[in-house]
Amino acid sequence: MSEPELFISIERACLRLSISRMTFYRLVRTDRLKTAKIGRRRLVSVGELARFAARTERDGGTLTAPR
């Protein structure tokens, strides 16, 4: 049995949220989504994705970031 993932790549996070990389980085830049740098990789925690989704749903259901 494998361990549950704690962090995932930016690419996988974009797939899970159904957003583009550009939108993902816009969310990071506007502090709506937090990432972590581990070694040379930038990753996002699975918990942060869940918190982001819950906040987004609570705040009106839009996943897009301001430009």
CA nearest neighbour of 21 among 39, 50, 37, 42: 42
The percent of residues in the chain predicted with pLDDT above 90, rounded, is: 75
Phi and psi based region of residue 11 (left: phi greater than 0; alpha: psi -120 to 50; beta: remaining) = alpha
Kindly report, residue by residue over 15-31, the tens digit of the pLDDT: 999 999 999 999 999 99
User: Which of 46, 41, 60, 59 has the alpha carbon at shortest distance from 17?
Assistant: 46
Mean pLDDT of 38-50: 96
Helix, strand, or coil here: 41? strand
CA nearest 32: which of 42, 41, 44? 44
60 — pLDDT class (breaks 50, 70, 90): confident
Matching residue, tokens 């549950």: 4
Q: What is the pTM of this model?
A: 0.81
